[in-house]
Amino acid sequence: MKRKILATIICAGLVASMLAGCGKKDNGSDADSISNIAQPIQSTTDEETPVADVEEPDPEPAAPTVNILKNEDAPEGYVYNELSGLLIDKEIENQRPIGVMVDNEVTALDHYGLNDADVIYEMMNSTANNRITRLFVLMKDWGKVERLGSIRSTRTTNCILTIEWNCVLCHDGGPGVFINDYIALDSVDNISGVFARIDNGKPREFTEYVTKADLEKYLVNSSTIDTEYNSYYTGPHFQFTESDALTAGKFASEKAAEGVISLPFPHNKSELHYNKDTNLYEYYEYDRAHVDGETGEVLTFRNVILQKASFGEWGEGYMWYNLTGEGEGYYITDGKCVPITWSKPATLVENTQFLDENGNSIVLNAGKTYIGIVPDDTWDTISIK
32: in domain: no
Query: CA dihedral defined by 184, 188, 189, 193, rounded to 10 degrees?
Result: -60
Which of 383, 319, 63 has its CA nearest to residue 178? 319
**C-beta neighbour count of 63 within 10 angstroms:** 9
Map residue 232 onto helix, strand or coil: coil
- Would residue 57 count as lying in a domain? no
Scanning 166-314, the segments in alpha helix (DSSP H) are 176-183, 212-215
User: Given this model, what pLDDT does residue 55 score?
Assistant: 63
Of the candidates 235, 236, 260, the residue with the CA atom closest to the CA atom of residue 332: 260
Contacts with 211 (C-beta within 8 Å, 6 or more apart), sequence order: 145, 146, 147, 148, 195, 196
User: How much is the pLDDT for 367?
Assistant: 98
63 belongs to a structural domain? no
* Strand pairing report for 336-344 and 255-256: antiparallel
Query: What are residue 316's DSSP bridge partners?
Result: none
Residue 109: CATH number of its domain: 3.50.90.10
Neighbouring-strand partners of residue 320? 312
Does residue 47 lie within any of the structural domains?
A: no
Answer yes or no: is 20 within a domain. Answer: no
Q: How many residues are given for the chain?
A: 385
What is the structure's pLDDT at 64? 63
- Residue 34 belongs to some domain of the structure: no
Report pLDDT for 32.
Answer: 31
Give the number of domains in the chain.
1
pLDDT tens digits, 345-367: 998 999 999 999 999 999 999 99
Point out which residues pair with 300 in neighbouring strands.
282
Q: Domain span at residue 238?
A: 71-384
Residue 193: partners with Cβ closer than 8 Å, 6 or more residues away: 172, 173
In a domain, 9, yes or no: no
Alpha carbon separation from 354 to 112, 360, 373 (Å, rounded): 29, 8, 13
Of 308, 326, 100, nearest to 195 by C-alpha is: 100
Q: What is the pTM of this model?
A: 0.83
In which element (H, E) is residue 18 found? Answer: helix 2-23
Do 225 and 142 contact (CB within 8 A), yes or no?
A: no
State the distance between the two ends of the chain, measured CA to CA, in whole angstroms: 92
Q: What's the confidence (pLDDT) of residue 22?
A: 38
One-letter amino acid at 169 equals: L
Q: Are strands 318-321 and 311-315 parallel, antiparallel or unpaired?
A: antiparallel
- The pLDDT of residue 315 is 82
Nearest to 255 by CA among 333, 307, 180: 333
Q: Is 88 inside a domain boundary?
A: yes
Model pLDDT for residues 98-114, shown as the tens digit of each residue: 999 999 999 999 999 99
Predicted pLDDT at 65: 75
In 172-219, where do the E strands start and end? 189-192, 196-197, 208-211
Q: For the chain, which residues score pLDDT lower than 70?
A: 1-64
Among candidates 73, 140, 65, 60, which has minimal Cα distance to 100? 140
Q: What is the pLDDT, as a whole number, of residue 63?
A: 52
Q: Which amino acid is at 139?
A: M
